[in-house]
Amino acid sequence: MRIDLTGTNIEINGELRALVAKRFAKIKRRVPEHVHCEVILAEEHNPKIADGQKAEANLHIKGGTINAKAHERDMAAAIGHIADEVVRQLNRRGDRARAHSRAGADTIRHGHPQGAV
């Protein structure tokens, strides 16, 4: 998986790159190599905005795009939230695919498709 890291009003240093790589390691194991992920980190300079650290992830996979956004006081927490949200959406996508592939399959007990009783 290729990760493109972009910063708005924030400098992308080695520490942030390492943090993103660490948090997205679980996602890398679950998706093919050709998948493209865009991670956008931003900082709001307005003191009235309490959660001024923003993170966004766009994962371009076969069949669609997975998006996740988070606003936090700490950039590490925002990156953690978007990584967890992407994993949750990948799980949901896989569960739906399995449910659709099983729909209409013969049951052991009755020998006819499920739901067609």
Overall number of domains in the chain: 1
3-state secondary structure 34-65: CCEEEEEEEECCCCCCCCCEEEEEEEEECCEE
Q: Looking at the domain assignment, is residue 114 inside a domain?
A: no
The confidence band for 115, taking pLDDT boundaries of 50, 70 and 90, is low
Question: Domain with 63 in it: what CATH number?
Answer: 3.30.160.100
Helix (H) or strand (E) holding 18: helix 14-23
Question: What pLDDT, in 10s, does the model give residues 59-108?
Answer: 998 888 999 999 999 999 999 999 999 999 998 886 665 665 666 666 66
Q: In what order do the strands lie in the sheet with 36-43?
A: 2-8, 36-43, 53-61, 64-72
| Cβ–Cβ under 8 Å, residues 103 and 79 | no
Q: Looking at the domain assignment, is residue 117 inside a domain?
A: no
| Cβ–Cβ under 8 Å, residues 75 and 53 | yes
From CA 55, how far away is CA 41, in angstroms rounded? 5
Bin 111: left if φ > 0, else alpha if -120 < ψ < 50, else beta.
Answer: left
From CA 102, how far away is CA 80, in angstroms rounded? 33
Q: Looking at the domain assignment, is residue 107 inside a domain?
A: no
Q: Looking at the domain assignment, is residue 50 inside a domain?
A: yes
Question: What pLDDT, in 10s, does the model give residues 34-53?
Answer: 999 999 999 988 888 888 89
**Enclosing domain of residue 19:** 2-102
